[in-house]
Amino acid sequence: MTQTNSTSLPARADWQAAVARYQRPDLRRSLWQLANTVLPYIALWYLMVQSLAYSYWLTLGLAVIAGGLLLRIFIIFHDCGHGSFFRSRRANDSVGIAAGLLLFTPYYQWRHQHAVHHATAGDLDRRGSGDIFTLTVREYLALPRWGRLRYRLFRHPAVLLGLGPLYSFLIGQRFAVPGVGRRERASVYATNLALVVILLGMSALIGLQTYLLVQLPVALVAATAGVWLFYVQHQFEDAYWAEHESWDYAAAAMQGSSYLKLPKLLQWFTGNIGLHHIHHLSARIPNYALQRCHDENPPLQAAHVLTISSGMRTLALSLWDEEARRMISFRQLAARRRPAAATD
């Protein structure tokens, strides 16, 4: 079961004052995080290329670690997008653009989409931008049979954690999202051009097959872990959803974002993003200050707590039940409708 903390939400002035103390990036910590993430990633990438001469199982073993480092690079990229990794906007944008090339992700478009996510998380009337698409029970039941099947396939763990992540980062990010601005569209085109240059360069240097044998498993590990993290951060049984008229920013952050408690090593690889309720209260807090903000402010500890095992169980939850005000599974919906069908 999901653990919860029943502490009431802190007053707006209180939580704003609390998080403000943690919003200033520390240049030394940011540079050290860059060094202890990017340099080992490059070294592991080189070792993976060399390992192909011995055993591809060895290559895949190294890919797990390299994928973890690529996920950590994504957290740096993510912080740059929020302007929280450096005090300088130019530094944030420069590092974000460079990290985006390693992640196959156009920085400015992703930054725009993610800002929309923060402004609309948990808002039933503003779903669909930068989040995992979620239907309510009524919306699902109103779909034709083919529509229901498509949604069930989309929400299946094999798609969410298998095909979906690779498609999203390797293919989906190659296109401009309708309605974005000129700079966001330009970032997509510039990123695509840069990736073509990188692909041609790596093909000439080590060969296309070698590049794909190394990069694809690394991308799969990072993308799958990243999508799972994003899923459990907002898709749990008691997650907060509300109509726009009654939507509240602090409630969406504290009740609609989980606190995913991970072992210290995994917390390092994931850049403390499991403290997602703190991050949604203030996206300007650098990832390395999230734990301290949480620990030093008991009123901010009122969050839904998940572990790896309980987080995996949330993958069955696919629909928002308007009546019960909670997430439910397709199986739960079927069980609820079965008695009604029997009496008809």
Least confident of 25-39, 186-200, 230-244, 325-339: 325-339
Place of tokens 């707006």: 12
Largest CA distance in the chain: 69
Using left for φ > 0, alpha for ψ between -120 and 50, and beta otherwise, residue 257 falls in: beta
Q: Among 237, 246, 247, 249, which Cα is nearest to 304's? A: 237
Q: Round the average pLDDT of the chain to a whole number and report it.
A: 92
Using left for φ > 0, alpha for ψ between -120 and 50, and beta otherwise, residue 3 falls in: beta
* Per-residue pLDDT tens over the stretch 143-170: 999 999 999 999 999 998 988 898 988 9
* Per-residue pLDDT tens over the stretch 65-82: 999 999 999 999 999 999
* Per-residue pLDDT tens over the stretch 194-233: 999 999 999 999 999 999 999 999 999 999 999 999 999 9
Mean pLDDT calculated for residue range 50-77? 98
Distance, in Å, from the CA atom of 318 to the CA atom of 328, rounded to the nearest integer, reads 6
Distance of CA 331 to the CA centre of its chain: 26
Distance, in Å, from the CA atom of 133 to the CA atom of 266, rounded to the nearest integer, reads 26
Please tell me the predicted confidence (pLDDT) of residue 127.
Answer: 86
Q: Are 243 and 138 in contact (CB under 8 A)?
A: no
Q: What's 238's DSSP letter? A: T
User: What pTM value is reported for the model?
Assistant: 0.92
Please tell me the predicted confidence (pLDDT) of residue 8.
Answer: 64
Q: Which two tokens stand for residue 221?
A: 């590990």
Measuring CA to CA, how many Å separate 272 from each of 32, 219, 236, 294? 16, 20, 19, 11
Please tell me the predicted confidence (pLDDT) of residue 1.
Answer: 37
Please tell me the predicted confidence (pLDDT) of residue 4.
Answer: 41
Question: Over 90: is that where the pLDDT of 99 sits?
Answer: yes
Q: Are 124 and 136 in contact (CB under 8 A)?
A: yes
Q: Are 229 and 68 in contact (CB under 8 A)?
A: no
Please tell me the predicted confidence (pLDDT) of residue 339.
Answer: 66
Please tell me the predicted confidence (pLDDT) of residue 191.
Answer: 97
Q: What percent of the chain has pLDDT over 70?
A: 96
